[in-house]
Amino acid sequence: MRKVRRERSISWRPVFQACAAKASRFSSYASQGIILALLAGCAIPHVPLRTVYEDPVNFVRLELDANVLPEWPPGHLSHPAQFSHEQVRRVLMGLTVQEHRAALQRWLGDDSRRLPMFRDAEITTLVPQLVEALRMARENERVTYYMSQPQTSVKRIITSGGLYVKGTELHFILGNWQTVYGIPAYGMIYDRRYPMNPIVSKGFDLFFDLDQAMVRQRTSLWDGLLANTKDELVIDLAKVFPRKAM
C-alpha cells in the first residue's frame, strides 16, 4: 500500500506543474492585454485638420472646433471671412506681449514693457497664409499657426496659437510665445500636434495697440493669479476698420 501511495503522489506532480505553467502563461497574456488596452486608452487624440501652408519649420492649418455644434447655427463662427493683406498685417503688427505682473507688482511700479508678438519675418510669412486660411475656413473651423526657429537638431524656439472670427470680433489665441521646446527622447512632438496648447505655464498677457478695440472679458481671481486672464485676446474689428462692412 505504501508503494502504491508513493507512486500516486509522484504521478500527480507533472500535472500540477503543467497547470501552473499554463496559469503563468495566461497571467502573462492577460497582463499584456491590459497594458495594450491602457496604451490604446492613452493614445493621442486626432484633431481633424486641413493644411493651408507648411514648410519645414512653420505651418498654418484649419482645425475642427469641437465646441461648434453643426445643429446650432447661432454658435457658428463667421467663416469664411474676407480680409485684405493690409488688414491682417495691421492686426499682427498691433499685437503685443507683456510679462505678467500681479496687481501688487504693478502698484509698486514693477512693470515690464510690451514687446511685439511677432517678428517682421514671421509677419511676412503669416500674412498671406492667414488671409487664405480665413477665406477657406468653414463655420466650425479655427485657424492655427506655428512658427519655429530651430536651435539644434532637438531644440527649437516656437510661437504658436490660433484665431477665429465671430461676428465683428476677432479672437486671437497665443498658446506659446518664444518658448524653448526640446524634443524628448521618446519622440513625441506635442508642439506641432497641438499649436494652441501651451507647453509651459503662461507668464504673459496679450494687448492690442488700439486700446478701445480690445473687448474686455470677465475673468476670475484665480485666473489672474495664474496669468490666464488674457490667454485669448478679443479685438473689435469694427473699431479697427470702421469702413469695412463686417
User: Do the domain assignments include residue 105?
Assistant: yes
Residues 123, 94: one domain? yes
Residues 108, 79: one domain? yes
Residues 6 or more apart in contact with residue 70 via CB below 8 angstroms: 140
| Residue 10: per-residue pLDDT | 41
User: Do the domain assignments include residue 22?
Assistant: yes
> Is there a contact between 233 and 95 (Cβ–Cβ < 8 Å)?
yes
Per-residue pLDDT band for 16 (boundaries 50, 70, 90) equals very low
Averaged over 113-127, what is the pLDDT?
Answer: 95
Residues 36, 82: one domain? no
What digits encode the pLDDT tens for the residues 175-208? 999 999 988 777 666 788 899 999 888 788 899 9
User: Do the domain assignments include residue 245?
Assistant: no
> Is there a contact between 132 and 125 (Cβ–Cβ < 8 Å)?
no
Residues 212, 108: one domain? yes
Residues 34, 78: one domain? no
User: Do the domain assignments include residue 246?
Assistant: no
What digits encode the pLDDT tens for the residues 142-175? 999 999 999 998 899 999 999 999 999 999 999 9
pTM: 0.74
What's the structural domain count of the chain? 2
| Residue 188: per-residue pLDDT | 62
Residues 141, 231: one domain? yes
